[in-house]
Amino acid sequence: MMRAGTHHLADDALRAAASVDDTRLLASIEALAAFGARSDGGVNRPALSATDLEARRHLVGYAHALGCTVTTDACANLFIHRPGSDAAPPVMTGSHIDTQPSGGKLDGCYGVLAGLECMAALNDAGIRTRRPLEVAIWTNEEGTRFAPGAMGSSAFVEPSRMPAYLNAADADGVTLGAALERYRHALPGLPSRGDAPPAHAFVELHIEQGPQLENAGVPLGIVTGIQGVRWYEFHCQGVAAHAGTTPMPMRRDAMTLAVALRASLEAIATSLGGEHTRITFGRWSVTPNSINTIPSDVTFSVDFRHPDAHVLDSFDAQVSACAQRHGARIAPLFTHAPVRFDATVLARLDAACHALEAPALRLTSGAFHDAMYLSQHCPTAMLFVPSRDGISHNPAEATDARHLVLGARALAHTLTTLCND
């Protein structure tokens, strides 16, 4: 039996988890999805767009109602702060609320709203943690309005990135700098804080965006790291010629070259990386792109991901040689090493799943997340819930309500134990 004023800390975590309110959590997801709602049920909410600013105002109002303070920083990240009993570095959670142009309701938003639900649950349970708890909303994670993605979290951990980011322009030529100016006018009165203060830990809850949990029939995923990635662009040069007059043996069709190169690259990736290989040829540009002209130029992108840094390095070496054999030009666009999350935070996630009697799978994230950068700042790990049919970046993105609630309970448990360290 517990008496008022004599909290048992392990009980705090279980009580916080139990106080997660499923109706309130699910309603908060629907409420946020109204900002930038698409007619097909999806969401289109570019970073720092008018709808994003309205969504932020909505969340700031909710944070104030929870008794939290809200601050911002140079990259428009928002920090929703629930005080602790001590002035120790906070435990952080959160994610992002910008979406793909035809995105869903959960990617990013779920992690932010589950974090706020944890604060509401702690309030309801009358728990005052030792450390503060902070929900972060990271700016422009998707990278579809401004490149690169994860701007907010990467600028948080490395503020020297900001001067370059300020010049990044969207498709209409609006720079991040101009969008930030508009943000400061739209949400006045938010205190801005300087460089990132120390944090005790960061835990990001997210939908899996893949099929592994669903296939395994397991409701929670403890994410041990993030795959490394290589982005390349390949350019194949042919000769534009008339479709009707050029005999087949005389043609130098850039698409024929590109299709052969694509097959070679996929074979290399598969032979190097085995079943963990993810290789995608997502973006194509064909010139002159005319029915009756043989293509002279084809450019295509390669996205290669693997959890093993050695495999990524070998891929780098082999694709250069492969491009040369095919007479293609190669341009590296982006690279990120694999990330290993913190063993101590992973152990707290294990303990939470155990305490809630929720089966959990250990897995590697195939997608980037803000946690990729936060892991450079403080002990970090992630928790996943299943994605129905593995679908994400799509209006059809969905997760069963019981999984959404269970994920929020496991997050509440984990954050509470970390806050009481």
| Position among 211, 314, 355, 377 found at the interface with a copy of itself (CB under 8 A) | 211
Amino acid, res. 232: Y
21 labelled binding-site residue? no
Say whether residue 297 binds a copy of itself (CB under 8 A): no
> What is the rounded CA–CA span in Å between residue 59 and residue 98?
13
> What is the rounded CA–CA span in Å between residue 326 and residue 343?
44
96 labelled binding-site residue? yes
Amino acid, res. 339: V
The helix-helix angle for 109-124 and 401-419 (nearest 10°) equals 60
Tokens of 237: 């040069």
Say whether residue 336 binds a copy of itself (CB under 8 A): no
Q: At 135, is the secondary structure helix, strand, or coil?
A: strand
Phi, psi of 123 (to 5 degrees): -60, -50
Say whether residue 366 binds a copy of itself (CB under 8 A): yes
| Position among 10, 162, 169, 259 found at the interface with a copy of itself (CB under 8 A) | 259
Q: Which is nearer to a copy of itself, 79 or 384 (CB)?
A: 384
Q: Which is nearer to a copy of itself, 278 or 340 (CB)?
A: 278
Q: Which of 122, 102, 105, 103 is nearest to 113 (CA)?
A: 105
Beta bridge partners, 339, equal 226
Q: Is 40 left (phi over 0), alpha (psi -120 to 50) or beta?
A: alpha
Say whether residue 231 binds a copy of itself (CB under 8 A): yes
206 labelled binding-site residue? yes
DSSP strands (E only) in 177-327: 201-207, 220-226, 228-237, 278-280, 284-287, 297-306
Q: Which stretch binds a copy of itself (CB under 8 A): 29-37, 160-168, 209-217, 410-418?
A: 209-217
Q: At 307, is the secondary structure helix, strand, or coil?
A: coil
* End-to-end CA separation in angstroms for the chain: 23
> What is the rounded CA–CA span in Å between residue 143 and residue 26?
26
User: Residues 54-93: x/- map of binding to a copy of itself (CB under 8 A)?
Assistant: ----------------------------------------
Say whether residue 305 binds a copy of itself (CB under 8 A): yes
| Position among 101, 177, 318, 388 found at the interface with a copy of itself (CB under 8 A) | 101
354 labelled binding-site residue? no
Say whether residue 39 binds a copy of itself (CB under 8 A): no
Amino acid, res. 283: R
| Position among 240, 330, 351, 355 found at the interface with a copy of itself (CB under 8 A) | 240
Q: Which of residues 169-208 bind a copy of itself (CB under 8 A)?
A: 208
Closest distance between a copy of itself and the C-beta of residue 290, in Å?
A: 5
Q: Which is nearer to a copy of itself, 150 or 408 (CB)?
A: 150
Phi, psi of 271 (to 5 degrees): -70, -35
Q: Which is nearer to a copy of itself, 166 or 259 (CB)?
A: 259
CA angle 198, 374, 331 (to 5 degrees): 140
Quickly tell me which residue has 């920090």 as its tokens.
79
User: Residues 131-160: x/- map of binding to a copy of itself (CB under 8 A)?
Assistant: -------------x----------------
Closest distance between a copy of itself and the C-beta of residue 338, in Å?
A: 12
142 labelled binding-site residue? yes
> What is the rounded CA–CA span in Å between residue 298 and residue 261?
11
Say whether residue 229 binds a copy of itself (CB under 8 A): yes
Quickly tell me which residue has 């289109």 as its tokens.
44
Say whether residue 291 binds a copy of itself (CB under 8 A): yes
- Which residues make up each annotated binding site? 96, 107, 142, 206, 393
Would you tell me which residues interact with a copy of itself (CB under 8 A)? 100-102, 144, 208-212, 227, 229, 231, 239-248, 250, 253, 255, 259, 262, 270, 275, 277-284, 286, 288-296, 301, 303, 305, 333, 365-368, 387, 390-394
- Which residues make up each annotated binding site for Zn(2+)? 96, 107, 142, 206, 393
